[in-house]
């Protein structure tokens, strides 16, 4: 759609340039007589109008290259063209002014029709291109917002997963290792070479106790409430 609008702008530029040069050459009487056209009076007005049309032609050509100006300039130039063509048709057909010969009137009417067609076509195309550009900008903005929202959701998901994945460190209680009670090794008899078992019964016999130990045991046995040895015999 936009390449077609660029082509219309180039056609508009060529038409505006042609009419601009024609009005700029208003003092050239022989040219107007050959084309059977009426010269603009005063000449200053015709030349001023020619410069204006040449400026519009340059603007239309520049807009056909610069994409940012294409739709706006095409709309403005299109309105100028169809309004100018309509004005020409009203004066030539409706009011028969200015009075031209057959060939000149035919050329003027054809020029008016061409201006109306090209102008309206440019306006319609510029409107379609502008709507597409607005839709494209809206879609790009929506896509950008969706990407930002997706990035935020992904960041939140990563934060949540990272928080849940952190291990809970429990304090380690080191219990002291208690070695098992070991029995002292029995002494080895030099005569036999075997361990000598301790004689616990001999330790309780009277002959093996000292006098102080015997006295302490006797006093403990005579004390009231002391445990009595089992009765034997």
- Cα separation of 75 and 60, whole Å? 10
Using 50, 70 and 90 to split pLDDT, how confident is the model at 57?
A: very high
Alpha carbon distance 157, 95 (integer Å) = 78
Q: Among 127, 10, 119, 15, which residue's Cα sits nearest to residue 64?
A: 10
80 C-beta neighbours (distance < 10 Å), count: 18
CA-based nearest residue to 12, from 68, 51, 70: 70
Half-sphere exposure of 194 (CA within 13 A, CB side): 3
CA dihedral 58, 64, 68, 72 (to 10 degrees): 70
**What is the Cα–Cα distance from 161 to 185, expressed in whole angstroms?**
62
Q: In DSSP terms, which residues pair with 195 in a beta bridge?
A: 188
Tell me the pLDDT tens digit for each residue of 99-124: 767 777 788 888 889 889 988 988 88
What is the chain's mean pLDDT, rounded? 76
Contact 64, 40 (CB under 8 A): no
3-state secondary structure 64-78: HHCCCCHHHHHHHHH
Confidence of residue 229 (pLDDT cuts 50, 70, 90): low
Question: How much is the pTM?
Answer: 0.56
Is 184 strand, coil or helix?
coil
pLDDT tens-place string over residues 60-80 = 999 889 888 888 888 898 898
Res 161: pLDDT? 62
pLDDT band for position 232 (cuts 50, 70, 90): very low
């Amino acid at each position: 759609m936009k390449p077609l609008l660029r082509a219309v702008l180039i056609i508009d530029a060529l038409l505006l340039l042609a009419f601009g040069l024609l009005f700029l050459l208003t003092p050239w009487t022989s040219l107007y007589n050959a084309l059977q056209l009426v010269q603009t009076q005063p000449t200053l007005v015709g030349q001023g109008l020619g410069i204006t049309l040449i400026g519009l032609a340059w603007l239309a050509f520049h807009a056909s290259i610069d994409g940012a100006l294409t739709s706006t300039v095409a709309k403005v130039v299109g309105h100028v063209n169809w309004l100018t063509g309509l004005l020409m048709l009203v004066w030539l057909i409706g009011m028969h002014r200015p009075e031209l010969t057959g060939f000149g009137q035919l050329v003027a009417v054809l020029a008016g029709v061409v201006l109306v067609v090209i102008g309206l076509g440019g306006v319609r195309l510029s409107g379609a291109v502008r709507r597409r550009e607005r839709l494209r900008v809206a879609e790009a903005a929506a896509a950008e917002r969706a990407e930002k929202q997706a990035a935020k959701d992904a960041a939140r998901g990563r934060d949540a997963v990272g928080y849940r994945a952190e291990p809970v460190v429990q304090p380690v209680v080191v219990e002291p290792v208690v070695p098992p009670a070991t029995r002292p090794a029995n002494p080895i008899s030099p005569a036999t070479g075997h361990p000598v078992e301790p004689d616990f019964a001999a330790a309780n016999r009277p002959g093996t106790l000292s006098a102080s130990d015997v006295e302490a045991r006797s006093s403990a046995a005579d004390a009231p409430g002391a445990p009595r040895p089992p009765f034997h015999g």
